Amino acid sequence: MDFKQAAIFGSYISKDYAEDLFRLLAAYTSISASEAASRLNLHIKTVQDFLKAMAGLGILGKEEVFEKKRPYFRYILNVREISMRVDLSPLFPEGEGSEGPGLRIRERKNAGVRFTTARNNQYISSVAIWQGKGRERTERRINLSIPQGKFLFHLPFPSAECLSINEIMKKAEVDNAHTSEIVDIVEALIDLKVIEREIK
Amino acid sequence: MGAVGVTLYFIFTRRLKWRSREIFELAAMPVSETSNGFTGRPMHTGKLSYSQIELRAFAEFMLNNLIAIPYFEENRVVFSLDHSISRIVGLKQEHEPGSWISFDNDGNVTAHISAKDYVKFKDTFAFDKLCTNLGVLFAGFMEKFLKGEGVRVIDKLNDLRLNPFTE
């Protein structure tokens, strides 16, 4: 199950009526949304959404039947057991060979952000970015971990030469164990137009 | 007549003049690149070796010679280049806002130029170079002072021969 499927399954299985619906599905050979809704005294849309989501995950099978000229679905329980296993490996940063630590960057000119320096220390504690225009303008503040703050403290100025993430980490004396969190904040700040990558 | 003479002496020998303008002039002197690039971040400009006693003595020297106002913090001394009246009379307890240079207990030298001071330069000098030079300049002052050549710091500032009446 990938993360998206797990999220859908999790949100439906946590409903109060989920167990009752599964009990009906186990007891009936096949059941329609309207039959289940009337049996449990639920709104038909609620039951329809639940059954549709479970069918999408392959837990239920569905067959289209016609009553007079109007088609509808009948649902059949396909499984006797559901095991939920979520693969988190795609969420981990890519290994060697990715551009990440070799990316050459510097602060973007006129980024219009406010860096707050930690008191008495050599690192940035937060970055405040203004988004939107006029009265819609809002401030988005990103609080940084200490390795991220040290990294941003040593980020090349907009008028300076770009440096690679590895070089900046070395300058800032940030341990390699923090590479993934550094790459994460760099990517976020590139998206927010605070950092720019070198144009070759 | 005597009082006027004494006043003129103090003015022309720059003994009553805060030296921030000279400091910025010296920092900008080697910079020719005009690529702007202002940022509100301070810049780490290098590392020096000094003791706490030496740092305190240097802070006293800088204040006595009207070069910068020192602020003693937990693990560093920050030299403010903002010489507004409220700061001189001690109404401001913080080194912000304004430009500053800090020397921390580990020997790190960090420089920051405020937007207000940056726009006073005639050209939009490369900001990273300006900050680097400012930090290096203060590190040089510290080295001279530690060698007992504090007077050379004053000479360097006087050699610019800036108008004694301007800021």
CA–CA distance, A69 with A30 (Å, rounded to integer): 20
- The reply to whether A112 and A163 lie within a common domain is yes
Give pLDDT tens digits for A162-175. 888 888 999 888 88
SS3 B69: strand
A109 contact residues in B (CB cutoff 8 A):
36-37
Read off the pLDDT of residues B144-154 as tens digits, 9 standing for 90 and up. Answer: 888 888 888 88
Q: What is the pLDDT of residue A10?
A: 92
pLDDT above 90 coverage of chain B, percent: 3
Q: B45, B134 in Cβ contact below 8 A?
A: yes
**Cα B164 from Cα B132, distance rounded (Å):** 27
Confidence band of A13 (pLDDT split at 50, 70, 90)? very high
Given a cut of 90, whether residue A19 has pLDDT beyond it is yes
Q: What's the pLDDT band for B9 if we cut at 50, 70, 90?
A: low
Contacts of B36 in chain A (CB under 8 A): 109, 158-159
Query: Residue B101 has which token pair?
Result: 């240079």
B56 touches chain A (CB under 8 A): no
State which of A61, A77, A93 marks the end of a domain.
A77
Question: A121 to chain B: nearest residue by CA?
Answer: B75
Q: What is the pLDDT of residue A67?
A: 74
Residue B8, pLDDT above cutoff 70? no
Count structural domains, chain A: 2
Q: Would you call A122 and B44 a contact, using CB atoms and an 8 Å cutoff?
A: yes
Mean pLDDT across A144-172 = 88
What is the C-alpha to C-alpha distance for residues B97 and B92, in angstroms, rounded to an integer?
A: 10
pLDDT given at position A121: 65
What's B47's DSSP letter?
E
Q: What is d(CA A25, CA A35) in angstroms, rounded to the nearest whole number?
A: 11
**Are the C-beta atoms of A129 and A190 separated by less than 8 Å?**
no
Per-residue pLDDT tens over the stretch B110-165: 898 888 888 887 777 888 888 988 999 989 988 888 888 888 888 888 877 766 66
Question: Can you give the pLDDT at residue B24?
Answer: 85
Q: Say whether B38 sits in a helix, a strand or coil.
A: coil
A111/B40 CB distance under 8 A = no
The residue among B143, B135, B142 whose CA lies nearest residue B62 is B142
* Mean pLDDT taken over chain A: 86
Do A125 and A186 sit in the same domain of this protein? Answer: yes
Q: Which residues contact A93 (CB under 8 A, 6 or more apart)?
A: A100, A179, A180, A183, A184
Q: How far is CA B81 from CA B32, B162, B167, in A?
A: 23, 17, 12
Domain range holding A64?
Answer: 3-77
At residue A15, the pLDDT reads 93
Cβ atoms of residues A183 and A100 within 8 Å:
yes
The whole-number pLDDT of residue A44 equals 93
The stretch B30-41 carries a mean pLDDT of: 80
Whether the predicted pLDDT of A145 surpasses 90: no
Q: Are residues A139 and A184 in the same domain?
A: yes
Helix axes A18-27, A33-40, angle to 10 degrees: 120
**Residue B29's pLDDT band (cuts 50, 70, 90):** confident
- One-letter amino acid identity for B78? V
Residue A22 CB neighbour total at 10 angstroms: 17
Nearest to B23 by CA among B126, B94, B120: B120
Write the ipTM. 0.74
Output the DSSP codes for chain A: --HHHHHHHHHHHTSTTHHHHHHHHHHSSSEEHHHHHHHHT--HHHHHHHHHHHHHTTSEEEEEEEETTEEEEEEEE--S--------GGGSPP-TTSSGGG-EEEEPTT--EEEEEPTTSSSEEEEEEEESSGGG-EEEEEE--HHHHHHHHTSPPTTSPPEEHHHHHHHTT--GGGHHHHHHHHHHHHHTTSEEEPP-
Minimum Cα–Cα distance from A116: chain B residue: B41
What is this structure's pTM?
0.70
* pLDDT score at A9: 92
Q: Are residues A105 and A189 in the same domain?
A: yes
Residue A167 lies in a domain: yes
Identity of residue A133: K
Mean pLDDT, residues A56-69: 86
pLDDT of residue A94: 65
pLDDT score of A52? 95
**H or E element at residue B77:** strand B76-80
Q: Could you tell me what percent of chain A has a pLDDT over 70? A: 94
Residues 85-114 of B with CB under 8 A from A: 104, 108, 110
Coil, strand, or helix at residue B86?
A: helix
CATH number of the domain residue A53 falls in: 1.10.10.10
Rounded Cα–Cα distance for residues A61 and A55 (Å): 6
Distance CA A151, CA B126 (A): 22
d(CA B54, CA B149): 14
Count of other CB atoms within 10 angstroms of residue B118? 18
User: For the segment A80-130, what is each residue's pLDDT rounded down to a tens digit?
Assistant: 998 888 888 777 766 555 567 778 888 888 887 888 888 756 788 888 988
